[in-house]
A and B are shown apart, each in its own frame.
Chain A
């Protein structure tokens, strides 16, 4: 009986998450496009719903809501469904939509989609070989095998995003890094841009006039065609066409220049807007946060290095450690069980919420930047795949932040994954990502004022 109640609670929450994913898709992601294939929207919302349910189950584990056996059952069920989606459905549909964009393969859409999916499965399987992720006791198609590989990809993604985010966040928040941009700079650049456009226009006018005169004179082809045409062009060069190709090259160069100038102008406008924003109250608040985050970032990099160098994997989680410290060193006595439950709930809750929110925002920005009306379906499905893998690996890593008694459910369901490997892998990739982001931002920052000075 209680199992039924528990299941109905789970199903209701899943439906809620599904609705939220649906709304997010419609309002935020696809707000400039028309949804023609509802399959895409359904898949995205389903992936989102099942991922959120996993987090929900962790929270329930900590709070002790629902029956323990029904929790276990739902965990297993959820994990199976998510793996099914991430390994079978989404890649297949990605292949299908990629194939439908290519006109040549239209007839045999399903066939080629299956071929693409099989290629994906092959590489996905090969991914597991170089990593010491599992004990060889399990069969081919067990949950552990699939999860271990999904975990590797997901953890890499998490670490990359996390490393870049940790460095980029203080860089964007703090106004110390803002270059000084005056209105005069912008005007000068705009003037150059318009002058370049004028030059392009005058050259194109000449080309258009030349084409028209040639057309009126009956010389339609200005490119030598065929064997005899080529021989003829060696001896008698048509002066007009040579001139034209020269002008065309100049036009191409000028167009490239105009694109560069446009991008620089856009950059200057954006910087100016940021300068104005930093003078407002909100801007100052973010500036302060930026200093705080930069300290946090440095600390994290330091910890990652220490972990790798000393080959240390934290045995206890922050909550238990914090409680130990307060009880033993500061001598404050309190009910450990009660507080550890609540604090870990809050901590895990914050981690979950910020990671979901952060991921959704990043995905949305990414989607706006690279999608077009043809590729929007494929990109959304890719994003759903990334989101699913990200959330699965968050579950793997979140295990570290929870006290021992709550880790049991994850360990039970996921079996004998080498969790320590994932943490080590996360540290390595985080370090690499953070350091290369620092290098990249440093170079970009240095280069910009030089371009600026060259005006």
Chain B
């Protein structure tokens, strides 16, 4: 087995979209029987074969950090959540296909995670606006997953899928739409499984193989409020 280096991928999204079910499906290939409220953060581990089928195949452990909560929480809750955003290597953005607001909130989620994951001194504040250039410049791989596909009636499916395609394009990311209670969506060899595998490969590549100073994540432009509280968080 490979050496125990960390590869950390965050799973973000609104409450109730199905992050815990998704993580369970990704890590155990089984459906989660009794989903309940996630308090704080729950972690799970997926064993991923990097470059499967080639001579360079190597096994990695990918940690999926499922952070619960709502994007409109109080500042104190956000600063509590921020402790989980250290040194991330990838983000999976989860939204509910039956709830448009959860898709819109993904912009704010990604801003929250990416803004936090910069040098730990000082409090960074942006005006919260979404800027497409920032996402184009972003070094951290993103993946957009839409859940509860089975609850969309056939007639509305096209419309919903077009909307999510735009969403994924905005993030400069791939997208997968599935139903977390049905493992067949991620069956080996399906296009979803291929996209997932490619995403994890990209995460591992960025983490290990492009080490020439490319660990700097996030945005090239940050607005800083002078005089804010200096909070130095440790790097683990």
Contacts and interface: CB of A to CB of B under 8 A. Distances in A.
Interface string B1-28: 1001000000000111100000000010
Contact of B83 (A33, A190, A208, A372): A190
Interface of B: 1, 4, 14-17, 27, 37, 39-47, 61, 63, 65, 70, 72, 74-77, 79-80, 83-84, 96, 98-101, 105, 231, 233-234, 236
A190 B44 CA distance: 20
Given A273-B75, A373-B17, 6 more contacts: A32-B105, A190-B233, A258-B40, A270-B74, A373-B15, A373-B99
B16 A372 contact: yes
Contacts of B98: 34
Contacts, number: 84
A270 B45 CA distance: 31
Given A197-B41, A209-B1, A372-B15, A187 B233 contact: yes
Interface string A265-286: 1100110110000000000000
A201 interface: yes
A138 interface: no
A407 interface: no
A32 B74 contact: no
A259 interface: yes
Contact of A204 (B1, B40, B44, B105): B44
B231 A183 contact: yes
B83 A193 contact: yes
Contacts of A263: 39-40
Given A34-B99, A201-B63, A209 B80 contact: no
A265 B80 contact: yes
A34 B84 CA distance: 29
A32 B70 contact: yes
16 contacts: A31-B101, A34-B98, A197-B84, A202-B4, A205-B4, A205-B45, A208-B46, A209-B47, A255-B42, A262-B80, A263-B39, A270-B74, A270-B76, A270-B77, A373-B16, A373-B99
Contact of B76 (A198, A262, A266): A266
B45 A194 contact: no
A200 B43 contact: yes
Q: Is the interface of A mostly helix, strand, loop or mixed?
A: helix
Interface residues of A, number: 36
B191 to A, nearest CB: 24
A209 B45 CA distance: 10
A187 B79 CA distance: 12
Nearest to B38: A259
Contact of B72 (A32, A212, A266): A32
B99 A204 contact: no
Interface in A18-60: 31-34
Contacts of B27: 208
Nearest to B8: A201
B82 to A, nearest CB: 10
A373 B18 CA distance: 11
A445 interface: no
Contacts of A273: 74-76
B45 A197 contact: no
Contact of A187 (B74, B84, B234): B234
Residue from B40, B72, B75 with most neighbouring chain A CB atoms (10 Å):
B40
Residue from A258, A273, A373 with most neighbouring chain B CB atoms (10 Å):
A373
Contacts of B84: 197
Given A208-B45, A263-B40, A269 B80 contact: yes
A194 B81 CA distance: 12
A432 B233 CA distance: 46
Interface string A229-269: 00000000000000000000000000100110111011001
Nearest to A375: B16
Nearest to A215: B29
Contacts of B37: 372
B73 to A, nearest CB: 9
A197 B70 CA distance: 21
A374 B16 contact: yes
Contacts of A202: 4
Nearest to B65: A197
B234 A208 contact: no
A266 B77 contact: yes
Contacts of A187: 233-234
Contacts of B74: 270, 273
Given A262-B41, A265-B80, A205 B14 contact: no
Contact of B41 (A191, A258, A272): A258
Given A208-B45, A209-B47, A262-B40, A269 B79 contact: yes
A372 B76 CA distance: 22
Given A32-B14, A193-B83, A194-B83, A204 B39 contact: no
Contacts of B72: 31-32
B83 A373 contact: no
A183 B47 CA distance: 37
A191 B83 CA distance: 9
A262 B45 contact: no
Contacts of B44: 204
Interface in A259-318: 259, 261-263, 265-266, 269-270, 272-273
B236 A198 contact: yes
A205 B47 CA distance: 8
Contacts of B231: 183
A194 B76 CA distance: 18
A194 B85 CA distance: 11
Contacts of A183: 231
